[in-house]
Structure 1
Amino acid sequence: MLNRPVKRLASQPSFVFSQHSLQDYADCPRRFWLRYLEQLAWPSPPVEPLEEYERHRLLGEQFHRLAHQAFLGIDLNLLRQLAESDALLSSWWANFMRLFPAVNTGERKVEFALSVPVKQYRLFARFDLIQKHTAPLRWVIWDWKTGEKTSTASRLSQRWQTRVYRYVLVEAGQTIFGQNAPQPQDVEMVYWFAAAPEKSVRLPYSQEQFEKDREDILQWIEWIEKDDVFPPTTEEKRCRFCVYRSFCDRGIAGNLLDWEEEEEEPEAFSFNFDQVTEIHF
């Protein structure tokens, strides 16, 4: 463990919160501190075997690029040929092509980034796809998942990704969509699993949940502001997939088959924040 004073959130007044940073703090305050306040490089692989994990991660990135290009109107035969470079990627792409006619309709915002203010900070979300339908008016947030493991509606509804994405879309909706801004009851989020599309999960929203999300987001940020210890989690099974476990002397890497991709890939803030749609109040 690092032998130096604990940095607090006050040391980063322009901090940008996201689904990953909130989930990290919920899972393990120590991981939040190491990743976001100390900003340490990852010392350990999240899963084993490492080679297969790296292959799977890179294929996931390639899938997201291909999906983006499909919405941009790139020739689908060309994209299919690119996907055929790997059998796993090809199978994901075949599944996506069966979905594509349904998601390539209405008003769409692809690989779209939004941020809204919370206190003096920002809360950031980057969407794979926001699809607006008319008759009836509704908005669907699509999120492509390429991990080997799927998840359930009850679990996903509690994850910060679900809560942040739906909240940010509604909170920022007036600026994006004008008079026809999304109301919570008109929004749903769909997790689409590339390897098992039949297990995809739809999560509707509500005014009650929107108000609870707003309250909880503010509460959790205030807890983080006050934290001057950032203790490690007491649930050591979570350490199997933590890249910082060597700092806490906790176990070995988990298996790729048990890994859920959204738990371990923080956003790479490699783009220009000037290009993010930021909502002011």
Structure 2
Amino acid sequence: MLSTSTQLFRLSQGHLNLLAACPRKFQHTYLEQLTAPTDPQQEEYQTLGSRFHLLMQQQEMGLPINSFLQADTQLQTWMTDFANVAPEILTPDNDSQTFRDSEHYRTLQIQDYLLTVIYDLLIADQEKAQIFDWKTYPQPPNKSYLAKNWQTRLYMYVLAETSEYLPNNISMNYWFVQAKDQPKNLQFKYDTRKHKQTEHDLNELLSNLTNWLEQYHQKGPFPQEPASKKSCEYCQYAVLCYSQTNNPVEISSQILPNIDNIQEVSL
């Protein structure tokens, strides 16, 4: 039983993705709070992504958005294109019994960790629940890659665990508003098998994290990915890892992440 004095470690899908990719990078980023110089273009994309999220939240709440659209032609284009492709999302039926909530926040405790999710939009009726997430980078990733991403897995898992919806009645919908030609939707359907697999993988990852944290408090570092991995060439901590190992790392001159793979931060 958890002691009342124990402080829960809050984790998001971003933490889980980093833990799964490279535990040592998680250590440098979140425990030691080391940061790389901010790339101006990356910062500009993140700001624009945040503004679009705020725009969609304003729209869902029924607040005026004309000032946003008039001030930014990019946002105006995205909103117009999205309204043409998916008008039913932007124009809810006021007489419907459907539940809708933007920036919907949920938490779930597993072991000594508090998992947090924020759905850009949740639409649910008596039978099914749909999670929506807005993406503003140009190129949608490979669908099989996105299916393995902890955002997809955690978001549906938490909803199934914190509601009465069966896994088979839950779906995750990504909308890429800057996709080529017109906004593109990638949908993922959940089921009991995926739920059990996610539960197993999640508990395993969190158990590992507990062991790594105990090791870290004893002055032992988190596990490090093999230097032979190509991802090390583009990691901002490659120089630090190189100095702590005998395995050489060929560091790319472009150690900042590809802007197309950066997920905008939810408000």
The answer to whether residue 54 in structure 2 is matched with residue 61 in structure 1 is no
2:119 match: secondary structure: strand
Q: Answer yes or no: is the 8 Å Cα contact 1:241–1:259 preserved in 2.
A: no
Which residues in structure 2 correspond to 1:81-160 (within 5 Å)?
81-98=67-84, 99-105=86-92, 106-134=98-126, 137-160=127-150
Rounded to whole Å, the distance in 1 between the matches of 2:114 and 2:87 is 33
Rounded to whole Å, the distance in 2 between the matches of 1:112 and 1:63 is 16
2:145 match: secondary structure: helix
1:200 match: secondary structure: strand
- List runs of 5+ in structure 1 lacking aligned partners: 1-11, 174-180, 269-281
Provide TM-score, normalisation by structure 2.
Answer: 0.79
Q: Answer yes or no: is the 8 Å Cα contact 2:167–2:192 preserved in 1.
A: yes
Q: CA distance change for structure 1 residues 246 and 194 in 2, over 3 Å: closer, same or farther?
A: farther
Q: CA distance change for structure 1 residues 88 and 255 in 2, over 3 Å: closer, same or farther?
A: farther
State the Cα deviation string for residues 235-255 of structure 1 (Å, max 9, x = none).
644346645445335433357
> Structure 1 residue runs of 4+, over 6 Å off?
none
Rounded to whole Å, the distance in 1 between the matches of 2:88 and 2:99 is 13
Match of 1:251 in 2: 252
1:259 match: secondary structure: helix
- List runs of 5+ in structure 2 lacking aligned partners: 1-5, 93-97, 216-220, 243-250
Q: Measure how far apart 1:217 and its partner are.
A: 0.6
Amino acid at match of 1:138: K
Q: Say which one has the larger Rg.
A: 2
State the Cα deviation string for residues 7-56 of structure 1 (Å, max 9, x = none).
xxxxx952112111110011111111112222x141234xxxx3222221
Q: Answer yes or no: is the 8 Å Cα contact 1:43–1:246 preserved in 2.
A: no
Amino acid at match of 1:251: S
Q: Answer yes or no: is the 8 Å Cα contact 1:144–1:192 preserved in 2.
A: yes
Q: Measure how far apart 1:220 and its partner are.
A: 0.5
Match of 1:260 in 2: 261
Q: Answer yes or no: is the 8 Å Cα contact 1:146–1:193 preserved in 2.
A: yes
Q: Answer yes or no: is the 8 Å Cα contact 2:50–2:265 preserved in 1.
A: no
Identity %: 26
Provide TM-score, normalisation by structure 1.
Answer: 0.76
State the Cα deviation string for residues 48-90 of structure 1 (Å, max 9, x = none).
xx32222211111100001000001013xxx244234333322
Rounded to whole Å, the distance in 1 between the matches of 2:256 and 2:107 is 34
Amino acid at match of 1:226: N
2:71 match: secondary structure: coil
Q: CA distance change for structure 1 residues 57 and 206 in 2, over 3 Å: closer, same or farther?
A: same
Higher relative contact order, chain-length normalized (CA < 8 Å, sep 6+): 1
**What is the aligned-residue RMSD (CA, Å)?**
2.5
Rounded to whole Å, the distance in 1 between the matches of 2:57 and 2:234 is 29
Rounded to whole Å, the distance in 2 between the matches of 1:159 and 1:139 is 20
Match of 1:273 in 2: none
Q: CA distance change for structure 1 residues 20 and 170 in 2, over 3 Å: closer, same or farther?
A: same
Match of 1:209 in 2: 194
